[in-house]
Every structure is written in C-alpha cells, then in structure tokens.
Amino acid sequence: MNEKNLDYLKEGLKYTGFGTSLNGELEKNVQAQQPEFRLSIQMPHHNSTMDYTLHFRRSDQSDMYFFNKYDAKLKPDDSTKEVSQTFYINKNSGITAKEAYNLLNGRSVHKELVNAEDQPYKAWLQLAPQAKDQQGNHKVKQFHENYGFDLEKTLQKFHINELQDPQQKDRLLRSLERGNQQLVTAKEEGYEVKRYIEASPQFKTINVYNEQRHLTKRETIQKQDAEVTQAHQAQQKGKDLTAQDQPEERRSHRKGIAM
C-alpha cells in the first residue's frame, strides 16, 4: 500500500470538510486495491441533513488513488424537495462539504478557480435552480470580479456593528464568502437588532433575515447616502494615516513602484 498516497487522500478529506471519520474505511479500501470505490457519510447542517457519496479511483499506471468527486444531496427537514449536485475535486481542491450545503440552499460561494489556460481567477458561484446539464447537475453561474460586486463595499452601506472591529470584520467577510448565512448585530431605527445576512452577488447586494431566518427588508438596516459617503471618507482617511505612519524608506520604495 502506498502510505504517502493514503496520507494525501486523508488530507483531501480533511480539506474538503469531511474530517477524519472516514479514514478507517478509506484505508481498508486502499489496501483492497479495488479499481474504484465509494465512501458515504451523512452530516447535519442547521435544520437539514446532507448525504455525501465520495468517489475514489485507482490510476491505470500506478497504485495511486485519487479523490475525484463527490455527490451531495440536501434533505431538508421540511417539505422542500431534495436537491443534489456532483462536485469535482482537483488536486485536493474544490468545493467543501459546507460550501456544497450552502450552494444547494441557493446561496453563493466565492472561490479561486483556474481557467483553460491554467490561470487563476476569483469568482462567485451559484447554482441555477432550474437549469441542468445532461448529467442532471445544476448549471453553475459565475460572477467574476469585473461583474461589479464588491462584498466589503456593499457591507459599508449597512448599519452592521461587526464592521467596526477589524478582526470581526475579517471573520464576517470570510464567512460570507464561504456562502454562510451569518448572524450580525445591526441598527434598525436607532435600536440594535440581530439579523442574519448572506451575500447576493447576482444582484450586487446582501439578503437580510430576522432571527427566525425569515427574509426581511434590507432597507431597514441600510444607511442613508450621506452616511455611506462619510463612512467611505473615514475609511480612506484611515488608510492615508496608515501610509503616513510607515518608515520613510518604505514609503519611498512603494512610491517608486507606483511610478
């Protein structure tokens, strides 16, 4: 048995969010040297259950196995119809188990991808609910950086307390990019309220939900135009002050690069 290959496969499971619970079954199947095999796992997410079937295949030229793809099926606890999708893995990289859950719930995920020329790029991904390909998979809509959606700038238009602290702000951005519906403290008519928010790149905004996760009007926590302008000016002023605080030698070097 190829121990390095087994360790690599275990890393792939961990990276894609399947943890270590499948490691025992994985090792048994690799030892058996079958041409291909599948592993299944069920994981709860909020008020839903996800069934995952992971596909592994041995190389035709060596004893190495590859984690090529997994099938994900969302089974909501309510009467909503089950939805499924196959997600492909390339070199231990791809959509994670939690991101698959978010995509099947209709939310968007921000990922770094590679084009046909092997050049990296970033884009928001969202499944088209009605459009499917010949394999029965939902077609994937992509909203590239030049589409015009900037999550950080969009959030500045809303009264969200977490944006005032750099660490909380960073955690919020990363969570929304993974497609999560994130709980925040917002201001509505002068009062602090709890709201869930999620990114909506297609419409260049965010969706807002109350504490029961029912969709509500985003305008109730939105700033006035004058407030947005003031916030942007304050942010820019902070960046300028940070630049002035840098050592003279470093500032000169950066200036030379800019030219």
Q: Answer whether residue 122 is part of any domain.
A: no
Domain count, the chain: 2
What pLDDT sits at residue 226? 55
On whether both 175 and 84 belong to a single domain, the answer is no
Angstrom distance (rounded) from CA 154 to CA 143: 15
Contact 56, 22 (CB under 8 A): no
Contact 210, 195 (CB under 8 A): yes
The pLDDT-based confidence of 257 (bands split at 50, 70, 90) is very low
Report CA Rg, the chain: 22
Among candidate residues 105, 130, 160, the one where a domain is terminated: 105
Among candidate residues 45, 72, 105, the one where a domain is terminated: 105
Tell me the pLDDT tens digit for each residue of 58-112. Answer: 999 999 999 999 999 998 766 567 899 999 999 888 999 999 999 999 999 999 9
Dihedral sign of CA atoms 40, 46, 83, 95 in order: negative
Q: Answer whether residue 168 is part of any domain.
A: yes
What pLDDT sits at residue 255? 33
In the Cβ-directed half-sphere of 123, how many Cα atoms lie within 13 Å?
15
Task: Look at residues 13, 50, 55, 21 and name the one whose alpha carbon lies nearest to residue 37.
Answer: 55
The pLDDT-based confidence of 256 (bands split at 50, 70, 90) is very low
Map residue 115 onto helix, strand or coil: coil
On whether both 89 and 160 belong to a single domain, the answer is no
Q: Answer whether residue 167 is part of any domain.
A: yes
Please name the amino acid found at residue 23.
N
On whether both 100 and 7 belong to a single domain, the answer is yes
Q: Answer whether residue 118 is part of any domain.
A: no
**Domain extent at residue 93:** 3-105
On whether both 101 and 159 belong to a single domain, the answer is no
pLDDT at 209 over 70: yes
- Average pLDDT, integer, range 178-197: 96
On whether both 181 and 237 belong to a single domain, the answer is yes
Query: Tokens in use for 74?
Result: 């969302």
Tell me the pLDDT tens digit for each residue of 29-62. Answer: 999 999 999 999 999 988 789 999 999 999 999 9
pTM comes to 0.85
Tell me the pLDDT of the chain averaged across its residues. 88
Q: Answer whether residue 146 is part of any domain.
A: no
Length of the chain (residues) = 259
On whether both 78 and 166 belong to a single domain, the answer is no
Query: Tokens in use for 243?
Result: 């630049």
Contact 156, 236 (CB under 8 A): no
Across 125-134, 207-216, 227-236, least confident range: 227-236
